Amino acid sequence: MAADRLMIFDTTLRDGEQSPGCTLNTEEKLELARQLARLGVDVIEAGFAYASPGDFEAVQLVARTVGTVDGPIICSLARAMRDDIRAAAEAIKPAAHSRIHTFISTSDIHLEYQLRKSRAEVLDIAGEMVAYAKSFADDVEFSPMDAGRSDPEYLWSVVERAIAAGATTVNIPDTVGFLTPTEFGAMIRGIKENVSNIDKAIISVHCHDDLGLAVANSLEAVKNGARQIECTINGIGERAGNCSLEEIVMAMHVRRAFFNPLFGRPVDSNEPLCLVDTRQIYKTSRLASNLTGMLVQPNKAIVGANAFAHESGIHQDGVLKNRLTYEIMDAETIGLSENRIVLGKHSGRNAFRTRLRELSYELNDTDLNRAFLRFKELADKKKTVSDWDIEAIIGDEIRLVPEAYRLEQVQVVCGDHAEPTATVRLVDAQGVERTDAAVGTGPVDAVYKAINRIIDLSNELIEFSVQSVTEGIDAMGEVTIRVRHENRTFSGHSANTDIIVASARAYLNALNKLQHALANPTNTSGALAHPEAAAEKV
Ligand code: KIV
Ligand code: ZN
């Protein structure tokens, strides 16, 4: 099947959500799916519908809300099993454009130890289950799992059988991130040259990053005929993660002269090679990080804090003379505006709303009022309020789960000759105030202990980090935390010029999510899972 551009298949909500310690509730998945649609991905793999009622609901909600006529294709993963495929078909039904993605392993090691089936059996199952999926959806994707370690000739026969049964996309996963670019490119070329009906399907690739080669392998696959890449925001995913969406998209953008001829275009064509709106990249990265609690390393390509920073004197000198001396792309291309001063303390609600629109935020009146009050507070404390500050306020104010507890006040006494002591006052959903105090090993510990005296939700703090939003002594600090409760992880996030306040609010954010999950057991993926499907979360 000819494709004159690259399809971007985002699996942040499925493979990305399989990152160790990452759980998103339904509201968070929906928020991220909306942003992925604004980003312009072709396909959103919204989850694994059969894995649990929570996963099913999330896929269905994304299909209903984001799967509009001009929206992306909404996809659910399904093992090559009838029950899985039926659940996937049912969950994606509300979407205007939908896809079932079914898979079965093809490597001998998986066949022998995991599936305990022969090659012939798996070949038949692949054909039968693609045909079964086809009875529910026109758009069916098939993946031979662990293709990277599969015998090439057997792989070709499975792919051929899947296409004959109706698969419109065949996705070749390097499930364990084992291959080098040359090997993976040869594997894709081998499929193109040896699968007789390959012209009836799009070749897709799905690379894991165990050896740090996921992006390189995916690009090599494009060189050899792949026309869809499966990837995630910030490269999150199982183990070392997946191919990173922002790196792929920017490689295709910055090096379009290299890729254009592969798509039959003149070298100097400026027509984008994929439909992603690059100006939404930074915002999507921030949102994914805030919601999942998975921080982006500072030196991460494209979206890391240092990606556009120049430290060495020689580099700075060069950039001042001509940016192109040391920069291959403009930060504005990914939506990272210069840290410009947009508003001050005299700016009114209208100016604030207009700036939010320019940053592509549409808030309802309640959220807008809250965000505006926070902006005013910040503008009183901080001389200059930048776009980054505004993004941090928005990330902080949009709470996707009901607030069972809200921070009314926090006060701390600490210092080298003081015992760190915190007093906190919380207000519950009924408006009842409760105050308590505790002593801790440090100010944050004291605050968390005081909160624990009011909210009785056992948990273990497994990650705590503070980053500054902008430069300068008056910068806001962003706190991201993760807590564990009975093998499930909940993240919390908050930004404030006072990092103790941010720490308290981040903790409450995580506890509110935990409380929400306990009150709505199907709301978080993995909850009440079909045991064998959850155990096998791909
Ligand atoms: O890594 C993998 O093989 C997968 C498949 C389900 C595509 O995630
Ligand atoms: Zn995967």
Distance 174 CA to ligand 1 centre (A): 8
Instruction: Average the pLDDT over 17-40 and give the result.
Output: 92
pLDDT digits 0-9 by tens, 300-338: 999 998 888 776 777 777 777 888 888 899 989 999 876
Distance 343 CA to ligand 2 centre (A): 43
- What is the structure's pLDDT at 347? 81
Quote the pTM value: 0.90
Is 534's pLDDT higher than 70?
no
Q: How many other C-beta atoms are found inside a 10 Å radius of the C-beta of residue 168?
A: 19
- The closest-lying atom of ligand 1 relative to the alpha carbon of residue 206 is 7
Residues 285, 400, 534, 484, Cα dihedral to 10° = 90
- Please name every residue paired with 466 in a beta bridge, in sequence order, or none if there are none: 479
- The closest-lying atom of ligand 1 relative to the alpha carbon of residue 11 is 8
Distance 21 CA to ligand 2 centre (A): 16
- What is the structure's pLDDT at 487? 84
Domains annotated for the chain, with CATH where assigned, are 7-300 (3.20.20.70), 313-397 (no CATH), 405-519 (3.30.160.270)
Distance 284 CA to ligand 1 centre (A): 23
- What is the structure's pLDDT at 103? 98
Distance 406 CA to ligand 2 centre (A): 38
Selected residue with higher pLDDT from 142 and 520:
142
- The closest-lying atom of ligand 1 relative to the alpha carbon of residue 77 is 6
- What is the structure's pLDDT at 456? 94
DSSP code of residue 526: T
Is 526's pLDDT higher than 50?
no
Is 353's pLDDT higher than 70?
yes
pLDDT digits 0-9 by tens, 98-125: 999 999 999 999 999 999 999 999 999 9
For residues 217-237, one letter each, b for 16 or more C-beta atoms within 10 angstroms of the residue's C-beta and e for the rest, the string is bbbbbbebbbbbbbbbbbbbb
CA distance 288 to 304: 13
Identify the band that residue 525 occupies on the pLDDT scale cut at 50, 70 and 90: low
Distance 232 CA to ligand 1 centre (A): 13
Q: Which ligand has an atom closest to residue 106 CA? A: 1
Q: Which ligand has an atom closest to residue 173 CA? A: 1
Identify the band that residue 474 occupies on the pLDDT scale cut at 50, 70 and 90: confident
pLDDT digits 0-9 by tens, 74-94: 999 999 999 999 999 999 999
Selected residue with higher pLDDT from 161 and 471:
161
| Ligand 1 neighbour 56 (Cβ under 6 A) | no
| Ligand 1 neighbour 206 (Cβ under 6 A) | yes
Selected residue with higher pLDDT from 448 and 388:
448
| Ligand 1 neighbour 18 (Cβ under 6 A) | no
| Ligand 1 neighbour 173 (Cβ under 6 A) | yes
| Ligand 1 neighbour 538 (Cβ under 6 A) | yes
Nearest-5° Cα angle at 375, 372 to 377: 110
- What is the structure's pLDDT at 531? 43
**In this predicted structure, which of 6-10, 239-243, 354-358 has the lowest mean pLDDT?**
354-358
Whole-number average pLDDT of the chain: 91
Distance 55 CA to ligand 1 centre (A): 17
- What is the structure's pLDDT at 387? 79
Identify the band that residue 263 occupies on the pLDDT scale cut at 50, 70 and 90: very high
Atom 3 (ligand 1) nearest CA:
175
CA distance 511 to 482: 10
For residues 394-432, one letter each, b for 16 or more C-beta atoms within 10 angstroms of the residue's C-beta and e for the rest, the string is bbbbbbbbebbbebeebebebeeeeebbbbbbbeeeeee
Identify the band that residue 341 occupies on the pLDDT scale cut at 50, 70 and 90: low
CA distance 483 to 492: 8
| Ligand 1 neighbour 9 (Cβ under 6 A) | no
CA distance 184 to 173: 10
- What is the structure's pLDDT at 524? 60
Give the residue among 173, 189, 269 at the shortest CA–CA distance from 222.
189
Instruction: Average the pLDDT over 131-156 and give the result.
Output: 98
Is 380's pLDDT higher than 90?
no
pLDDT digits 0-9 by tens, 170-209: 999 999 999 999 999 999 999 999 999 999 999 999 999 9
- What is the structure's pLDDT at 527? 40
| Ligand 1 neighbour 132 (Cβ under 6 A) | no
Instruction: Average the pLDDT over 255-259 and give the result.
Output: 98
CA distance 441 to 406: 24
Which three-class secondary structure string do you get for 456-500? CCCCEEEEEEEEECCCCCCCCEEEEEEEEECCEEEEEEEEECCHH
- What is the structure's pLDDT at 537? 57
- The closest-lying atom of ligand 1 relative to the alpha carbon of residue 14 is 8
| Ligand 1 neighbour 143 (Cβ under 6 A) | yes
Q: What percent of the chain has pLDDT over 70?
A: 95
| Ligand 1 neighbour 103 (Cβ under 6 A) | yes
